[in-house]
Amino acid sequence: MTTNKQILLASRPQGEASAANFRLVETPLPALADGQVLVRHHYLSLDPYMRGRMNDSKSYAQPQPLDAVMIGGTAGEVAESRHPNFKPGDKVVGMGGWQEYAVVDAAQPGALRKVDITHIPLSAYLGAVGMPGVTGWYGLVKICEPKAGETVVVSAASGAVGSVVGQLAKARGCRAVGIAGGADKCRYVVEELGFDACIDYKLHGDLKSLVAALKDACPNGIDGYFENVGGMILDAVMPRMNAFGRMAFCGMISGYNGEPIPMTYPQMILQSRLRVQGFIVSEHMEIWPEALKELGTMVATGQLKYRESVAQGIAAAPEAFLGLLKGKNFGKQLVKLI
């Protein structure tokens, strides 16, 4: 191959993102310099955080530059190498972006990581044994600090992050309760992932109804809450939190189009002496080896289950991403490029 197909950010969304914000281009592949590696991507990871980076606004990450390849995690294999630590055929993960190939400066720390696919599928290194898995691990273990017998609730429970949170909570002897959209997702969360209960938020059109459902699912209240959504779901959780409960704020998908997210019961933070902490997993690289060891072992031995939604071909990435933001995916959203 001498050409590379890439998806660029063509324009910044005004409100909701659309396919018009992206552009597919073909570019020639450059010759490698010393120390560089050419990676042929097999899988591209699509994640909700990418929506925030499309805006040119204050956030925890630099905005995605216009007319540049969309930033994102990738898994693939070395096609050509001019670095002594990498050889053609090596399976690797990195941040190669929305493109079929990436030229990587392999001497840069953390730019490329070799992975073993003997017991763990390559795609899992973008999900359960990758950034989403470590995100779930950090928020649960380091912020929610679950103890056996406690109740842990997670929103977006069937997704790449939420599914890991509940299974790790169960492994620590907790009652795990998920919140997801639709009967199929809730059935999967309970029957396949082993959660104790899952609430279908689509059946609850108002706050009172959702609070009542949480009360039924969490008879002993909530000790740890992992937040991916915000909005009415957060409002329903607040009154059910036990004294000295811990809340890990990972995502706020209900506000990704820039709209404010009002909070109905902020007084509960004081009344229940809650610890509320937001986090970005890339700022905690020191825990990645410990997290990946547990996650990798659990996936390899079948203790940690996961599901993938796979779109085919680089051209499908924008629509798959827009679908992810609307909850159309089931589990980890990937794009398969080969």
Judge: domain 131-282, CATH 3.40.50.11270.
Answer: no
Q: Do domains 3-126+307-336 and 131-282 have the same CATH topology?
A: no
Mind listing the pLDDT tens digit for each residue in 190-244? 999 999 999 999 999 999 999 999 999 999 999 999 999 999 999 999 999 999 9
Mind listing the pLDDT tens digit for each residue in 63-110? 999 999 999 999 999 999 999 999 999 999 999 999 999 999 999 988
The CA distance from 133 to 130, in Å, is: 5
Q: Looking at the DSSP assignment, which residues form a beta bridge with residue 249?
A: 227, 278
CATH of the structural domain 3-126+307-336, one choice from 3.90.180.10, 1.10.4160.10, 3.90.79.10, 3.30.70.990: 3.90.180.10
Residue ranges per structural domain of the chain: 3-126+307-336, 131-282
Q: Looking at the DSSP assignment, which residues form a beta bridge with residue 309?
A: 333
**This prediction's pTM:** 0.93
Q: Which residues contact 80 (CB under 8 A, 6 or more apart)?
A: 32, 37, 38, 88
